[in-house]
Structures are given as C-alpha cells and as structure tokens.
C-alpha cells in the first residue's frame, strides 16, 4: 500500500478504489474519485492559484447560436505553476493510466481554470476534441449553493452514453469541492446547465492527449 501511495501522491486513492474507478470508466465513460480526492495541501494550493488567476489572467468565454462553436457563458483563466506541475506529474499519469488504460500527456492548449461564478453561467452540450482532449480530468476546487435548495442543476455535470443528449443519460455528477472526475469526453456528450442565484463553481479542467 505504501508503494501505491507514493506512486499516486497527492491523490487520495487506494488499490480497491482504483479497481472501482476503472470499472466505472469502462461501463459509463466516467469515473468519480470522491472528496477529498487530493491531499489538503495540494487542493488548497490549487484553490489559491485559481482565485489568483481569476483576477489576473482570466477572460470571458461566450458563444450562442453559432453552429461552429459550443454554446457557453463562463470565465476561463490560464494555468499557473501549481496546476501545471500537477497535470504533468508522474502521479497524474499513473492515476489516469490506472483508470483509463490509456497512455496520456497534458494538452496545455485545451487545459485551463474554469469559473461559473455568476448566475446564468453554463456550458452547453458538447463532446471534447479527440486530438486535444482525448480524456478530461476535472478537479472541482470550490462550489457553493443555497443550503435550503441544495445543489441545483448547474452544480451538476450530465454525461450521456453517446455523442449527443439524444442517447441515454450515463451519469449525473455533483461538483463537490475536492472531487475529481475522469471523463471520456471525446466520446460522451456532456453538459452543465446554467447556475442559479447563489450558486458558483470553479474548477481545474485538465485535458489530456494520446501519447504517440
């Protein structure tokens, strides 16, 4: 167990959990490492970096009613050194291979911090680009919602069995802080509905390409 912990640090995952994640990925195209997925120090460092990048290196991404673009309204920011270090680490490569059985490398042009921090922020239905984001690793850093209402649709990621929402729903994943989603997003359509009043979410969206 010590060898496994060292190889997969800073991910908080045991061998039995890896087997369940692998089975889920094969069956549904999505695997969820529940919170706390990252060791606290790593998670806090990413949260701090995401907040800093939001104020210093972010841009608004908006597109609607354009068939050549994904319909969306959210904020994006460039990765900082902590995020780049994690995505390029041997621990991340080992973790992803154990879950997907695919050799992967970071796709820097497609990876970013993503923020849904105003009401109405959303990500429309889409599949990821195969060459740029064969597999996605989504690390939910912070999420807030009304205690009275609980997490609304915007705090959830909806993943379908095929390449459109016309196929059956494969999974609904609530975006709890320090939860990680491994997603076959190039083959599975997915969508995040608009945020409601009082809801917000920011995350590290890591994209990985095939190793050639």
- Taking the CA of residue 191 as centre, how many other CA atoms within 13 Å lie in the half-sphere pointing to its CB? 18
Q: What is the pLDDT of residue 68?
A: 77
Region 167-178: what's the mean pLDDT? 98
Q: What is the pLDDT of residue 56?
A: 97
pLDDT digit string, tens, across residues 37-88:
999 999 999 999 999 999 999 999 999 867 778 999 999 999 999 999 999 9
> Cα(128)–Cα(115) distance, rounded to whole angstroms?
18
Q: What is the pLDDT of residue 67?
A: 73
Q: What is the pLDDT of residue 6?
A: 56
Reply yes or no on whether the pLDDT at 208 is more than 90: yes
Q: What is the pLDDT of residue 66?
A: 74
Reply yes or no on whether the pLDDT at 1 is more than 60: no
Structural domain total, the chain? 1
- Cβ count near 66 (within 10 Å): 8
> Cα(155)–Cα(145) distance, rounded to whole angstroms?
8
Query: CATH number for the domain including 80?
Result: 2.60.120.620
Q: What is the pLDDT of residue 5?
A: 47
pLDDT tier at 3, thresholds 50, 70, 90: very low
- Tell whether pTM > 0.85: yes
> Cα(210)–Cα(114) distance, rounded to whole angstroms?
23
**With 0-12 CB in 10 A as exposed, 13-18 as middle and 19+ as buried, what is 42?**
buried
> Cα(124)–Cα(72) distance, rounded to whole angstroms?
5
Residue 7: give the domain boundaries.
2-210
pLDDT digit string, tens, across residues 115-149:
999 999 999 999 999 999 999 999 999 999 998 89
Least confident window among 14-28, 65-79, 174-188: 65-79
Residue with tokens 């497609």: 110
pLDDT tier at 4, thresholds 50, 70, 90: very low
Average pLDDT of the chain, as a whole number? 95
């Amino acid at each position: 167990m010590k060898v496994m912990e060292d190889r997969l640090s800073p991910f908080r995952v045991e061998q039995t959990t890896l087997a369940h994640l692998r089975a889920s990925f094969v069956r549904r195209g999505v695997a969820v490492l529940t919170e706390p997925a990252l060791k606290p120090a790593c998670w806090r460092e990413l949260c701090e970096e995401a907040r800093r990048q939001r104020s210093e290196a972010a841009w608004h991404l908006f597109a609607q009613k354009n068939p050549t673009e994904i319909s969306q309204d959210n904020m994006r920011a460039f990765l900082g050194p902590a995020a780049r270090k994690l995505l390029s680490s041997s621990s991340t490569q080992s973790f992803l291979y154990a879950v997907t059985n695919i050799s992967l490398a970071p796709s820097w042009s497609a990876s970013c911090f993503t923020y849904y921090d105003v009401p109405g922020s959303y990500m429309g239905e889409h599949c990821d680009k195969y060459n740029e984001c064969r597999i996605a690793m989504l690390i939910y850093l912070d999420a807030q919602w009304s205690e009275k209402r609980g997490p609304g649709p915007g705090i959830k990621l909806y993943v379908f069995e095929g390449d459109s929402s016309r196929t059956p729903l494969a999974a609904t994943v609530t975006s709890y802080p320090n939860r990680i989603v491994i997603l076959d997003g190039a083959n599975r359509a997915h969508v995040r509905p608009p945020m409601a009043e009082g809801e917000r979410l920011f995350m590290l969206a890591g994209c990985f390409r095939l190793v050639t």
